[in-house]
Amino acid sequence: MASATAPTTLSLLKTAASSTSTAARASLLPVSTSGLRTTSLRGLGFSAADPLFSSHVVSKIRSLKSNGKAPRAVVSMAKKSNITDDTRIRAAIPTIKYLISNGAKVILSSHLGRPKGKTSDDCIGPEVEKLVASLPDGAVLLLENVRFYKEEEKNEPEFAKKLASLADLYVNDAFGTAHRAHASTEGVTKFLKPSVAGFLLQKELDYLVGAVSTPKGHLLPLWVVLRSHPRLESLSRSWRSVISSFWVEAKAKGVSLLLPSDVIIADKFAPDANSKIVPASAIPDGWMGLDIGPESVKTFNEALGTTQTVIWNGPMGVFEFEKFAVGTEAIAKKLAELSGKGVTTIIGGGDSVAAVEKVGVADVMSHISTGGGASLELLEGKALPGVLALDEVVRVAV
């Protein structure tokens, strides 16, 4: 962040058709949740060049440099102390690299969970302003977890203003938090112009909005698997009611809805549980379904073979246990096969991403979403606060 006399915050620009943004809340660097870090990313060697975004950001940087200062960029991202999935980290690096390669001082705004207590380092205040002021061109500053402040999730204007005072412009590359109106994702845009979308955020919008509005051929919108667990057994009647209602609505709209015909059940929720295959409607008391069965795999794969666009959100079962990963791995491999034939395959974040990574087919998918809840809300047609807060592109007739 920058001092009050030289405010600087950077986010990539959102446009009606070509960009949208929220502070990047994906883990960009393997850092701890405490302490500020200043790190140069010049050696990462990424490139990204959207013409509209490029001209917008470069012109902003040049105008600031002409006044004797380098712009500082704020990107919001989620960090973890122990990284189990670096998908979001890798996905956000191109935006950061682009900014620093154009001479920006990049400030990363991060969050992790919902922490309790206090921290010695900070994301606002005099000490942070000093660090920002001493930041060299093309360097990166990682701020402390913004969620140590309760004002972050409450989106309090004064807190957002303090965050914004550190920067000149705002770039949001955190699609995973675009559905939340927090201070670092929505509030800061009221104090920083331009406020724009990063490359990752724009890619998410292009694929997810495009898949629904102009799908190629048939669209298989969503795979849903309700994982069974002893603590969820009391909810089974409610789930059956939901599925029944969903079935009626789908039928009325002429939408095919496929449910497992057979499942692999277990006598306990453990990797070494006893298992057997039974019809989906005949799970004995005391047992739970942890994967789809071979007939279901065959049915689903046949249905997938008729599609041109697939959005997959949700594994077929508890794929973390090898014994119950067969269904999930089979679907992942089928999607990889379809990708090679030109089918658009979109993996909808969270466990689905972990599944295709585990099978080793993530690289062949059309798009790996970092969204999770944001992806689902966008597909439902809901407005995302972090996207709406970004600047719209003003189109000029030539």
Pairing of strands 37-40, 139-142: antiparallel
Q: How confident is the model at residue 287 (pLDDT cuts 50, 70, 90)?
A: very high
pLDDT of 261 > 80? The answer is yes
Q: How confident is the model at residue 245 (pLDDT cuts 50, 70, 90)?
A: confident
289 is in an annotated binding site: yes
pLDDT of residue 12: 32
- In this structure, the dihedral spanned by the alpha carbons of residues 117, 122, 126 and 129, taken in order and rounded to 10 degrees, is -160
What is d(CA 160, CA 184) in angstroms, rounded to the nearest whole number? 6
pLDDT of residue 87: 75
386 is in an annotated binding site: no
Q: 68: which residues sit within 8 A by CB, 6+ positions away? A: none
Name the nearest CA neighbour of 170 among 12, 388, 347: 12
pLDDT of residue 349: 67
Least confident of 224-228, 245-249, 328-332, 383-387: 224-228
pLDDT of 269 > 80? The answer is yes
pLDDT of 9 > 80? The answer is no
Burial class (CB in 10 A: 0-12, 13-18, 19+), 249: exposed
Least confident of 110-114, 167-171, 174-178, 333-337: 110-114
Q: How confident is the model at residue 252 (pLDDT cuts 50, 70, 90)?
A: confident
pLDDT of residue 361: 95
pLDDT of 117 > 80? The answer is no
Instruction: Look up residue 311 and give its two tokens.
Output: 């959005």
Q: Which residue's structure tokens are 């089918």? A: 343
What is d(CA 36, CA 14) in angstroms, rounded to the nearest whole number? 28
349 is in an annotated binding site: yes
Name the nearest CA neighbour of 92 among 12, 26, 43: 26
The stretch 21-34 carries a mean pLDDT of 27
For 277-296, the DSSP string reads: EEETT-PPTT-EEEEE-HHH
The stretch 110-119 carries a mean pLDDT of 66
Instruction: Look up residue 387 and give its two tokens.
Output: 């996207």
The stretch 224-228 carries a mean pLDDT of 39
Residue 292: C-alpha distances to residues 97, 277, 326, 330, 334 (Å): 42, 9, 8, 10, 15
86 is in an annotated binding site: no
348 is in an annotated binding site: no
Instruction: Look up residue 291 and give its two tokens.
Output: 């994967």
Pairing of strands 344-347, 309-312: parallel
pLDDT of 243 > 80? The answer is no
Q: Which one has a higher pLDDT value, 336 or 44? A: 336
262 is in an annotated binding site: no
What is d(CA 13, CA 397) in angstroms, rounded to the nearest whole number? 20
pLDDT of residue 177: 87
pLDDT of 23 > 70? The answer is no
Q: 228: which residues sit within 8 A by CB, 6+ positions away? A: 283, 288, 289, 290
Q: How confident is the model at residue 39 (pLDDT cuts 50, 70, 90)?
A: very low
For 300-357, the DSSP string reads: HHHHHTT-SEEEE-S-SS-TTSGGG-HHHHHHHHHHHHHHTTT-EEEE-STHHHHHHH
Mean pLDDT of the chain: 74
Judge contact between 91 and 200, C-beta under 8 A. Answer: yes
pLDDT of residue 119: 62
Sign of the alpha-carbon dihedral angle for 99, 101, 105, 109? positive
What is d(CA 101, CA 88) in angstroms, rounded to the nearest whole number? 21
pLDDT of 164 > 60? The answer is yes
What is d(CA 10, CA 293) in angstroms, rounded to the nearest whole number? 49
pLDDT of residue 68: 58
Q: How confident is the model at residue 322 (pLDDT cuts 50, 70, 90)?
A: very high
pLDDT of residue 229: 39
pLDDT in tens, 339-396: 999 988 988 867 888 889 899 999 999 988 888 788 888 877 888 999 999 988 766 6
pLDDT in tens, 186-216: 999 999 999 999 999 999 988 888 777 766 6
Q: Which one has a higher pLDDT value, 80 or 243? A: 243
pLDDT of 34 > 60? The answer is no
Judge contact between 15 and 57, C-beta under 8 A. Answer: no
3-state secondary structure 222-278: CCCCCCCCHHHHHHHHHHHHHHHHHHHHHHHCCCCCCCCCEEEEECCCCCCCCEEEE
Q: How confident is the model at residue 129 (pLDDT cuts 50, 70, 90)?
A: very high
User: How is residue 143 annotated by DSSP?
Assistant: P
pLDDT of residue 329: 95
Most confident among 84-88, 145-149, 271-275, 390-394 (mean pLDDT): 271-275
Name the nearest CA neighbour of 71 among 128, 126, 23, 2: 2
pLDDT of 159 > 80? The answer is yes
pLDDT of residue 321: 94
pLDDT of residue 391: 87
Judge contact between 249 and 256, C-beta under 8 A. Answer: no
Q: Which one has a higher pLDDT value, 70 or 170? A: 170
In the chain, pLDDT over 70 holds for what percent of residues? 68
pLDDT of residue 120: 45
